[in-house]
Amino acid sequence: MEFYEQILSLKEQFKTSDKFQLPGNFKNMVISGMGGSGIAGKIFQDLYNEKLLFVNESYDIPRWVDQYTLFIGISYSGNTEETLAALEAAIKAGAQTVSISSGGKISRMASTNVVVPGGLQPRSALGYLVSPLLNTFNIINSAGKERVYELLDELDKEHKFLDLVASEIVEDEKIPVLLTLPGFRSAGFRWKTQFNENAKILSFSLNFPELDHNDIMAFERSYLRERFYPIVIGDTTNSQMEKRISATSNLTGYKFKLLPVKGKNPVEKIMYAIHCADYVSYHASILRGLDPEDVSVIEKLKSELVK
Amino acid sequence: MEFYEQILSLKEQFKTSDKFQLPGNFKNMVISGMGGSGIAGKIFQDLYNEKLLFVNESYDIPRWVDQYTLFIGISYSGNTEETLAALEAAIKAGAQTVSISSGGKISRMASTNVVVPGGLQPRSALGYLVSPLLNTFNIINSAGKERVYELLDELDKEHKFLDLVASEIVEDEKIPVLLTLPGFRSAGFRWKTQFNENAKILSFSLNFPELDHNDIMAFERSYLRERFYPIVIGDTTNSQMEKRISATSNLTGYKFKLLPVKGKNPVEKIMYAIHCADYVSYHASILRGLDPEDVSVIEKLKSELVK
């Protein structure tokens, strides 16, 4: 499948009905995953609030993992070194384990192994990776999926605002800085990483209200300040957050771009904001004359590490 | 106290013996705090691994907070809007509560209120804010404190490497990017925020191994790449991490600065790395001809928000 078709396939992937059996007696959760696979756990963290959830991004696991922990390892390839090590440690600690992958070693390691369709880049398989979590925990139902499909389909057809953002960034060689509102950290992270991988542009994600306690001083007076391009992502209907955004913008002299996040509830809004990142980074890559699919440096690194 | 003296006082602050009474039956913890006060919780998170700990940076608290949660609100002024709201929500949820502050509203809100000496900038009061956590959870004893004192004292007298880093950043107008190794996220965050507040320089913190899954693509080919200044912070004695650092450096063509982190154990190493941030950012500020103490924009924002 062409890379652009892979991106477009997100809305279809999102409709899959994969679920896994939940153990009855878990008290906390860890989701372990890196890069394009790890984002699934981060989205889930923005949407799930019932039990304690730790999102893990390394080889090691927290010492408190035990038989009351539901440990979910996500690796699209099924062979991510960090995630395999973490899942192995979780098994040793007696945790109840689930894997989500398209195959590979991890699909033979956990007690429950969810296997999704393969052949895509991990960052283009996000719908497959996140759906089992959203389905299992009833975060979305089939009517909700239909609405997400429609929202993303609309976006696939009409993305003038995102084209403008991409062209402003590339023409003026700007560094996108995502400023997320509460509940949208995963979306900010997706924007950053899609700019990294697709467009090969450095990009950073910061969070309101924390950024008002430190970054704001630098936004006002840093050198290179004219080269940063701040984009606010999130639900701006909270009046205290609206106040913050406008005061931060006024005090720093930046005109923030505000992403118009569509959707009726958090899951719709996050999926919309996430898919926007796919577009804008794809177009930025094309405008730079680069291949958005190319992640050869990451591949080279992986082969260096196993030497 | 002059601002530079405030910075130097960290090693003394660290010797305080404040402790608080731990409830017997808590199952998880939340530490809530922003900016210069929030960093104390982040350091604790890098050092504590016994029970589930969530570090909160906003008004809201997780829905799972209940009577088995130990909720610690940290606000040096005692009047931080986000932390007051979070602590109030925790009290409503029935959590067992502790506050750490130099006074203000928060010092009358929790079940247990630790009051530390006032009169400093929050970011210069870190020793006072973090010590009650380290003391109470026995993360450090008095011999360990003596060693931290000596390490920081040594650093106070000899900081050529940090002076070099500061001058390279300011002379070439670079953007410092901290690349943290596992266990040193709080230190990377401190570097970033001290560059923000003291030197008024934009700065960002990324984490190994996650950055090898996305940022690495941008480090190799982004525009402005020559303007970023990557500094690796952490314990480089892990051979897989050493491999990663050198492969990442080779593949991206960056010569990373490696911070020589002194100390015999994690708490010593983190405190050393953190105090390095105080120096380098202070010197960068002086080299830029700016007042390191000035955080007038943050103050203005706070007054805008209560209007």
For the segment A255-273, the average pLDDT, to the nearest whole number, is 95
Residue pointed to by tokens 């005692």? B78
Q: Which tens digit of pLDDT belongs to each residue from A202-223?
A: 999 999 999 999 999 999 999 9
Cα Rg of chain A, angstroms? 19
Q: What is the mean pLDDT of residues B213-229?
A: 96
In one letter, which amino acid is A26?
A: F
Q: Check whether A238 has a pLDDT greater than 90.
A: no
Question: What six digits make up the tokens of A274?
Answer: 């996430």
| B306 pLDDT higher than 90 | no
Give me the active site residues of A, please.
197, 213, 302
Q: Among B83, B217, B246, pick the best mutation site for testing chain A contact (most A Cβ within 10 A).
A: B217
Share of chain B above pLDDT 90, in %: 96
pLDDT tens readout for residues B44-68: 999 999 999 999 999 999 999 999 9
CA-nearest residue to B50 within chain A is A64
Q: What is the pLDDT of residue A1?
A: 81
* Cβ contact A182–B60 (<8 Å): yes
Residue pLDDT, tens place only, A81-104 = 999 999 999 999 999 999 999 999
Would you call B28 an interface residue with chain A, using a CB distance cutoff of 8 Å? yes
Residues 229-248 (A) with a CB less than 8 A from some CB of B: 240, 243-244, 247-248
- Chain B contact for A3, CB < 8 A? no
Interface check for B67 against chain A (CB to CB < 8 A): the answer is no
Nearest to A50 among B59, B63, B209 (CB): B63
Q: A62 and B52: CB-CB below 8 Å? A: yes
CB contacts of A218 in chain B (<8 Å) are 195-197, 199-203
Find tokens 């630790």 and name the residue.
B114
Q: Is B197 annotated as catalytic?
A: yes
Q: Is B222 at the interface with chain A, CB within 8 A?
A: yes
Given an 8 Å threshold on Cβ–Cβ distance, is B58 in contact with A182? yes
Inter-chain residue contact B28 with A52, CB threshold 8 Å: yes
User: In whole angstroms, what is the distance from residue B119 CA to residue B2 CA?
Assistant: 11
- pLDDT range class, residue B239, cuts 50, 70, 90: confident
Residue A46 forms contact with B (CB below 8 Å): no
- Among chain A residues, CA nearest to B202: A218
pLDDT of the residue at B1: 81
Confidence of residue B236 (pLDDT cuts 50, 70, 90): confident
Contact check, Cβ <8 Å, B200/A220: yes
Do B210 and A57 make contact, defined as CB atoms within 8 angstroms? yes
What mean pLDDT is predicted for residues A105-124?
Answer: 97
Tell me whether B21 touches chain A (CB under 8 Å): no
Q: Which of B301, B302, B303 to mutate to test the interface with A (most CBs of A within 10 A)?
A: B301
When the pLDDT of each residue in chain B is averaged and rounded to a whole number, the result is 96
SS3 A198: coil
Instruction: Say which DSSP state A59 is in.
Output: S
Question: Which of residues 173 through 202 in chain A touch B, CB cutoff 8 A?
Answer: 173, 175, 182, 192-193, 195-197, 199-202
Q: What is the pLDDT of residues B179-201, one digit of tens each?
A: 999 999 999 999 999 999 999 99
The three state secondary structure string of A93-128 is CCCEEEEEECCCHHHHCCCEEEECCCCCCHHHCHHH
Q: What is the ipTM of this complex?
A: 0.97
User: Quick one: average pLDDT of B66-90?
Assistant: 98
User: For A144-198, how does the pLDDT look when each residue is reduced to its tens digit (9 = 90+)?
Assistant: 999 999 999 999 999 999 999 999 999 999 999 999 999 999 999 999 999 999 9
As a dihedral over the C-alpha atoms of residue B243, residue B246, residue A190, residue A230, rounded to 10 degrees, the angle is 150
Contacts of B239 (CB under 8 A, 6+ apart): none
pLDDT of B277-304, one tens digit each? 999 999 999 999 999 999 999 999 999 9
Instruction: Give the HSE-up count for residue A203: Cα atoms under 13 Å, Cβ half-sphere.
Output: 32
Which is more confident, B240 or B167? B167
- Does the pLDDT of residue A24 top 90, yes or no? no
Say yes or no to pLDDT of B91 above 90.
Answer: yes
Q: For residue B193, what pLDDT is reported? A: 98
Using alpha carbons, select from A143, A231, A233 the residue that is nearest to residue A181: A233
Distance CA B112, CA B149 (A): 28
User: Looking at the predicted structure, is the pLDDT value of residue B237 above 90?
Assistant: no
Suggest the residue from B213, B226, B249, B304 to mutate for an interface test with chain A (most A CBs closer than 10 A): B213
pLDDT tens digits for range B1-18:
899 999 999 999 999 999
User: Has residue B107 got a pLDDT over 90?
Assistant: yes
pLDDT in tens, A48-63: 999 999 999 999 999 9
Q: What is the pLDDT averaged over residues B73-77?
A: 98
Dist. CA A59–CA A82, nearest whole Å:
4
The whole-chain average pLDDT of chain A stands at 96
Distance CA B256, CA B245 (A): 8
Cβ(B187)–Cβ(B233) under 8 Å? Answer: yes
pLDDT (mean) for B261-286: 96
Please provide the DSSP assignment of A228-258 as one string.
EEEEEES-TTSHHHHHHHHHHHHHHT---EE
* Residue B130, pLDDT score: 98
